Structure 1
């Protein structure tokens, strides 16, 4: 999918931004286009404030001249715009391919509305083709991974649970955690799986975003497709 089409999806999301809004700024290749377009509008006089979901997004937003805040200073946001690694027609998501899932979920949960921008390849009939990220604390990693593997097997995982690496060392998130990636293949019961993973000591968060996204703008060769979550 070309960067031009991703930018078209981001442009649709920019139309939702109003003066004075408190915005959650997502992470990833498509979200970068949104932040760039927002920077254009800020330089034209738009007054907004943003909470970045990663240090990467923070650096881009600062370079664009976007005024930033924190959830401690601004605990309620009007709108979060972010990408997704997968989404189904009920707007259930898998996120975390870039390693920012914990901050992304905290920011999304603090927002009155979450909008996803993505290319059409991210739309799936059922979640699970993209490995499910699970963010874990380094302490007790072997025990936590064993518990996650047991849950994955119970829910029919077709592949392994692997520690994400950055070369020869574990990948470390902005929060100082590790990520386990579960190669499910197909996730038949995302809601129940989410509950099971949440109950594991050592699991900080997982990449299932359920009941959080209200609208998705998907870039296709024929234009931007809009999916609305009728439930919320």
Structure 2
């Protein structure tokens, strides 16, 4: 089973890069997560990799860029990105996403929002059609530390079940993001594709919320690696 999952991740990542990375692309966003490992590997195999720069979404993707011999840049240097590749924790029928299982959601969304084209790569387990159906850990929400109790209370009023993400066993206390903030994972159950944008807006409006792990209207295309070795694509 594990071999099938890894094979599907590599298939989707390689296909996404092969079909969408163009010779005239100069700035490329490289996301976070286990599937993006294969994106970075494929981009690193490009014959013209000396001619472009890669923008990371966090510490992990920064290391992927360096390890694959790619030029490292930053969002401050390159606020406009030609194309970005990233994974997802879950994908619905409208290509809305849950991201942030690895606590990189703010930088992932910054890179996605800066990209002219945003491509999602994932294995078949992530393509459930409804957010919250397969990903039962809740929506990741990055919050300013001093606001976490207030935000948790407001999330409960919205019908969610908030939980500050623990750093155990590696760290006593909450997970701390690359930006020095906490992560609240908030379970809202299954979220219909029609109500995703409204829920995201309500969470974003709460004082103390830095960013949500709901990505609405950002992905132009998804590449899903299936267990039988085929690849499914979907365009927004």
Q: TM exceeds 0.5? A: yes
Residue 116 of structure 1 pairs with residue 120 of structure 2: yes
Alpha-carbon shift at residue 72 of structure 1 (Å):
1.8
4+ runs deviating over 4 angstroms: none
How many corresponding residue pairs?
A: 221
1:81 — aligned with what? 85
Alignment of structure 1 residues 5-84 onto 2, 5 Å: 5-15=8-18, 16-21=20-25, 22-41=27-46, 44-46=47-49, 47-84=51-88
Residue 208 of structure 1 pairs with residue 209 of structure 2: no
Task: Give the Cα–Cα distance (whole angstroms) in 2 for the partners of residues 200 and 207 of structure 1.
Answer: 14
Cα deviation per residue 1:76-133 (whole Å; 9 max; x = unaligned)?
1111100001111210111111110000001000000110000011112321232111
- Over the residues paired in the alignment, what is the CA RMSD in angstroms? 1.3
Unpaired stretches in structure 2, ≥5 consecutive residues: none
Cα deviation per residue 1:138-177 (whole Å; 9 max; x = unaligned)?
01321121112212x1xxx4xx311101113100111111
1:218 — aligned with what? 224
Quick check: 2:92–2:129 contact (8 Å CA) kept in 1? yes
TM-score by length of 2: 0.90
Quick check: 1:165–1:171 contact (8 Å CA) kept in 2? yes
Unpaired stretches in structure 1, ≥5 consecutive residues: none
Task: Give the Cα–Cα distance (whole angstroms) in 1 for the partners of residues 118 and 157 of structure 2.
Answer: 32
Q: Secondary structure at the match of 1:226?
A: strand
Task: Give the Cα–Cα distance (whole angstroms) in 2 for the partners of residues 161 and 85 of structure 1.
Answer: 18
